[in-house]
Chains A and B, each alone.
Chain A
Amino acid sequence: MAFDDDDDPHPATHPATGNSSNPPNDADDDDKPQDFRLFNSTLPARRPQASGRAIRRGEKDFEAHGTRAQEGQLEASREAMHDVLGYTRTHRPPRDHLRGWYFPHRWAHHAETDSGGLFARHRVVVLESDKGSLAHTMGRVVTGADRHAPAALKTWLLPEEALYLVERGSLDLWWPARDIAHVFAGKGEEAGEDAGPYDEEDVPLGVPLSLQAAYALLIGRPGDRGRVPLERYQVYANLRRSGYKVLRATPLSPPAAGARSLWEWLFALLGPAARKSRASPLVGPGLYRSYAQVYARLALVPRHRPSAVTELTPTAITEKAGQEDEEEDPFHVFYHVWNNSAAAASFTKARPPPPDFRVAVVDARTTGPPTLEQMRGLLERGAVFEVPPLNPPSPFAAAATTNPQSSFSGGGAGGGGIGAVYKRLKHGWRNAVVAVVDGGLVSYLRFGEMAFGEERLYERFDAVGLPGGAG
């Protein structure tokens, strides 16, 4: 990950208003309730109407002064809002009609075999076809199933994916009145497409669902199978609207215990013990050829060193895996998020590259600020839920992977100037984004694991002193 990535995940550009009609960013007020007249005028069919009048930007008043002009403006805004939001989603039959069926129990007992983030148990909507490129970042064909079962090779959507598609007007979701075999029986790839909408043959199959019904069927409480909590859906949709790719986070396979942790353990054992044997003073009389030696003796308080994920014992892992669907600590990584960058071409949803952001979703109403234990759970403790891997700031990156102790020997811990130190501290050793949702409004916070102990400033003193001393 580059340094640039640690900007907040809010989209820098709002494509809708990216052109000249960008409303002024009211720094002193929330930019939330926008002027729908402006939006209305940007919609294509509105063009002729809007060109005639001056588009008022989203300007506001301090308070009501009872004039008719003000009332008129407010009423115009409301009318525009009503017009825009009174829109009904339509699907033009041959090409843009993507139909999905709600079959919540098809995969209810499907055993999760591979850890590839299939989440088959939660996939409740099946698409009739995967035309279009929507399938690029959403939906999966459930592997490991009987290939001859009906709709076995179709794309299945997670609840948040299906609801997002319905909401953006890209999916026509139907409630089946028959079982899945009947619904998919007569359908070759093209059959049924020539017939007009709502023909007689549709009648026995089922009914189309409204947006309201889609919410009622796909939104649930945490732990409901085949449903997604509203705040998680809202974060998903918010990120998708901004152009990010979003997949559910896959659990991390437990990391192998490496030699490195053993080394650290040994050093930890040696260090304080050696010092403890010493009577006062801390820095005894003797010959010190560098500041480093002196400061090393002064370092009494152990500092936090970012280390790889603390593993739980295998039994603990299986225990926790059993409770995966229970209502659990919300502070865990739930979504993986990718920038829509140049690497987009090589993106595959089955084997995605390492994500750019890891996002946890919490509800502001029910969750307080994370406790230290929750922070450790989010960042360090990988049991069932995935934990951000160690991602040291760049100068450390090479050293940390090859030899964790190398920074002891080198002069100047990470190199670079003092500015680089702050940059590294800010970047942290690993991070997770927490999306806080309050009544539908989303804020993103980035929690990073900092390591002040790794930035040994005193090594600079030697580096400054050296040229003079040596000369």
Chain B
Amino acid sequence: MAAVSVSVSGTDRAPVRISKVAGRYLLFDIDDIMHLRRHHNICSVFVGTTPQNPQQNIFMGLPVELMPEEAQVLVDKKVAYIFDDGVFHPARLATLDEPTRRAYLQSLKHEGKMAQLVAEESKKQFVPKVKQGKKKSKASRTEAGPAVEDPVEQETSTVGEKDVEDTIDLFDSSTPASLTSKPKSINNVPTKAEPEGYFVTPTTTSALLLTPTVFPHLPPSPPAEPSECGGLSTAAVTPASVDNLPASYPLYAHLQDKGYYMMPGLRFGCDYNVYPGDPLRFHSHFQATHVGWEDEITMLDVVTGGRLGTNVKKGFLLGGAVTSSEPQTAEGETAGSGDAVRTFCVEWAAM
């Protein structure tokens, strides 16, 4: 999974498959996610648990939940298509025949064996960590290498309190791995004569999708799985419309088009938290709130938003699509994109 090189350029890549589950838009493939992050200024929110360290809420893992706006923008740009996984998966799984299952299990078995080999390899190198650590650390970069010890320790402990202790232990792990693995080797039934492999829970179902069987039970979504097989060109992906788009979509699309990264604005009382670059590296500049062109804005809202924004070193940005026959004066704001969106920034000056 992680083997795909990251240097795929932005254009010749197959469109990203957005999983639609119960009206939500999710991304599971880390390569897709990094691609969108690099080339389409979409970062969005990691909402999953990180299996390497599941007892914390700071470093979140897969999947990524896209806002409907983001899904719509990606579909419009023809870099992604939406696929109803909530319908597809049950249908596909119910029609798996035995050869397909066998092939799938074989592939997982292979992956499991690789995982075990990598784990043992990294454990070996881990013991004399003073000398060899630096040289070999490249090898442990493969997907399954990092934290094979974690599940062992964490699952044997309680989920709650004890787990926390264990995790902390892990982090102070100046204790060499040989120490922590001692109880394991006592209890372990099979000696490591020949690798039996681990069980694997893949992150995506791409292995199942790749099987070239044709299934009639598919939902009628035109840009369906053929593109997974590489047969579909980018142009052939018909843009599906995303449901439950909020009224603030024009503002989102406008700022997205200008190259800004955006996150949901819940924590700053706005629609979008706007970053000038990847939020990994940059502070956000604006808290953007959508306002309809004809809407009344109460002065109190302006003061509230402006004051909050100023306190957190952001500009309070108001914006919306220009409706009707507003005279479009030559402004920089409306120049680039086709849809005319005007934005205004409020700073709370003094009291």
Contacts and interface: CB of A to CB of B under 8 A. Distances in A.
Interface of A: 11, 14-19, 21, 23, 28-36, 39, 42-49, 51-52, 60-64, 70, 73-74, 77-79, 81-99, 132-134, 136-138, 164, 166-173, 175, 177, 194, 196-198, 202-204, 206-213, 215-217, 219-221, 224, 227, 229-230, 234, 237-238, 240-243, 245, 340, 344, 364-366, 436, 438-441, 443
A239 to B, nearest CB: 9
A411 B46 CA distance: 56
A90 B28 contact: no
Interface stretch (B90-98, B213-221, B343-351): B90-98
Contacts of A212: 19, 26, 28, 63, 85, 89, 203-205
B198 A90 contact: yes
Interface stretch (B37-45, B222-230, B324-332): B37-45
Interface of B: 1-2, 6, 19, 21-24, 26, 28, 30, 33-34, 37-38, 43-59, 61-63, 65, 67, 85-86, 88-90, 93, 96, 98, 101-102, 104-106, 108-109, 111-112, 115-116, 119, 122, 125-126, 129, 133-134, 137, 140-141, 143-152, 154-161, 163-164, 167-168, 170-173, 177, 184, 187-190, 196-205, 208, 244, 246, 263-268, 273, 276-285, 312-313
A148 B167 CA distance: 41
Most buried by A among B112, B172, B268, B312: B112
Nearest to B105: A198
B149 A44 contact: yes
B278 A78 contact: yes
Given A85-B61, A89-B201, A198-B105, A365 B246 contact: yes
A207 to B, nearest CB: 5
Contacts of A213: 89, 93, 205
Nearest to B123: A45
A245 to B, nearest CB: 6
A364 B21 CA distance: 18
A264 to B, nearest CB: 39
A173 B205 CA distance: 13
A234 B267 CA distance: 16
A36 B59 CA distance: 7
Contacts of A99: 199
B106 A78 contact: no
A74 B112 CA distance: 33
Given A44-B147, A90-B198, A35 B133 contact: no
Contacts of B112: 90, 197-198
A34 B33 CA distance: 16
B170 to A, nearest CB: 6
Given A16-B58, A28-B312, A443-B266, A84 B50 contact: yes
A210 B151 contact: no
Nearest to A19: B171
A171 B1 CA distance: 20
Contact of A132 (B143, B155, B244): B155
A14 B281 contact: no
A90 B200 contact: yes
Contacts of A137: 159-160
